[in-house]
Amino acid sequence: MLEGIRVVELGVWVAGPGAGGVLADWGADVIKVEPPAGDPMRRMLAVTGGGRDDLPSPPFDLDNRGKRSVVLDLADADGEGRAAMAALIATADVFLTNLRPDAVARLGLDPAAVAAANPRLVYAGVTGYGRTGPDAHRAGYDVGGFWARSGIASLSVPADDPQPHFRGGIGDHVTAVTTVAGILAALMERERTGRGRVIETSLLRTGIWCLGWDLGLRLRFGQVGATFPRTETPNPMINPYRAGDGLWFWLLGVEGDRLWPKLVEALGREAWLTDERFSSARSRRHNAGALIALLDEIFLGSTRDEWTATFDEHDVWWAPVNTPDDVVDDPQAIATGAFVDVPAGAGSDAHRAVASPVAFLTADGGDDSTPTRGVAALGEHTAEVLAELGLG
């Protein structure tokens, strides 16, 4: 899809490299410029406190497979590294970085400077909090910019409850895909105008967009709905429940009044259709605690597999609450192409991995976004790329 598009990536950790990783899966020539010590994500299990420097880093591999790795020392303003970087960017269609704005400026790679020298270039800047404003230079990470400051963390639990530990990389990957969308739109515009554009994304702005339903209510009406504990969810039809074998599932009855009769029939509780406590969405909301307690007791009476058969027979909408072990063996996840086999590279053995989130299908049902190259070792392609620039 993106063959012939060159992306020069100057990024570390996740949000920027994640965007570059998707572009590489889609066929772009992504050249990852790393410092002599490499992207710290290469040593994630050691850097984040695990103490293991001898193991591969699956998170790094996911976001960096298929790229070419070039080591340049950009610390010296008059050094060969800076000159090579400028020459490399001059050959690029896209320059992608998630270094903080002050760090990018110190390297002479701020948008104004780079875009002025390369008018056809798409400059993609990914930050924690944006390029302007009082906290533009503050460190973010997704737990800071995406989860905490956006408001998502505070609405994830009832008021005054401590926030949970959020799984790493989720906000980063949402921001990465957002960045990819912006890059592709700017490349399309360049096809019409012949000129590139600077695009900006941030963990904060992406997180705020993801929370747009709640923040839209706040902006329009001055208030946001409360977050309830599971036992008091206003719509018991969209709530998690535990089966008798200890496995959880989630009812998906967003349209309560339309889907309520199906659940009632599946449970054999037809009397609830005329029970004034439960006969309408409004009455169920007012009596949510009592209904959830009744449903909890009923659902404990059968295994999840048994409920699966019952729900499917009565067209009750639901989903299993999968563990990671469940996910990697889920036949539907496998069928949708969620996992791919990554070939061996100098930086990693061949391995099974998570696929990019979009498939580009061929006429015979194949997927052109399947990785064709593995993970590069640090600096593996330095000599090759410099030779292409006439600097070897």
Q: Among residues 153, 257, 152, which one has the least CA distance to residue 213?
A: 152
Looking at residue 47, its pLDDT comes to 66
* pLDDT confidence of residue 131: 93
Cα distance between residue 181 and residue 174, in whole Å: 11
Structure tokens at 49: 């406190």
Residue corresponding to tokens 């969209």? 238
Place of tokens 């993106």: 2
Domains and CATH numbers, the chain: 6-210+337-388 (3.40.50.10540), 230-325 (3.30.1540.10)
pLDDT at residue 215, rounded to an integer:
97
pLDDT per residue rounded down to tens, the chain (392 residues): 999 999 999 999 999 999 999 999 999 999 999 999 999 999 987 766 555 666 789 999 999 999 999 999 999 888 899 999 999 999 999 999 999 999 999 999 999 999 999 999 999 999 999 999 999 999 889 999 999 999 999 999 998 899 989 999 999 999 999 999 999 999 999 999 999 999 999 999 999 999 999 999 999 999 999 999 999 999 999 999 999 999 999 999 998 899 999 999 999 999 999 999 999 999 999 999 999 999 999 999 999 999 999 999 999 999 999 999 999 999 999 999 999 999 999 999 999 999 999 999 988 888 888 899 999 999 999 999 999 999 96
pTM for the structure as a whole: 0.94
Within 319-369, residue ranges assigned H as helices are 324-329, 331-335
Reported as type and span, the H/E element at residue 220 is helix 212-221
Q: What share of the chain is helix, strand, coil (3-state, %, to 5)?
A: 45, 15, 45
Q: Of the candidates 38, 29, 20, which has an alpha carbon nearest to the alpha carbon of residue 68?
A: 29
In whole angstroms, what is the distance from residue 109 CA to residue 244 CA? Answer: 59
Which token pair is 330? Answer: 């889920």
Which of 235, 230, 256 lies closest to 321 in space, CA to CA?
Answer: 230
d(CA 252, CA 243): 16
- Strand ranges of the sheet holding 248-251, from the earlier edge strand across to the other edge: 240-242, 248-251, 318-320
Instruction: Report residue 68: phi and psi, to 5°.
Output: -100, 135
Cα separation, 392 vs 388, whole angstroms: 8
Q: How many residues does the chain have?
A: 392
Report residue 182 as tokens.
């912006």
pLDDT for residue 48 = 65
φ/ψ bin of 126: left (φ > 0), alpha (ψ from -120 to 50), beta (otherwise) = beta
Strand locations in the chain, DSSP E? 6-10, 29-34, 68-71, 94-97, 122-127, 198-202, 240-242, 248-251, 318-320, 339-342, 351-354
DSSP 24: H
In this prediction, residue 72 carries a pLDDT of 97
Closest CA to 21 of 369, 382, 379, 336: 369
Q: Which residue of the set 29, 61, 172, 214 is catalytic?
A: 172
> What per-residue string of b and e applies to 93-115 under the rule 16 or more CB within 10 Å gives b?
bbbbbbbbbeebbebebbbeebb
Of 321, 316, 317, 233, nearest in space to 267 by CA: 316
Under 8 Å between Cβ of 10 and 106: no
Alpha-carbon separation of residue 47 from 51, 103, 272 (angstroms): 7, 21, 56
Is 76 known to be catalytic?
A: no
Sign of CA dihedral 338, 368, 170, 48: positive
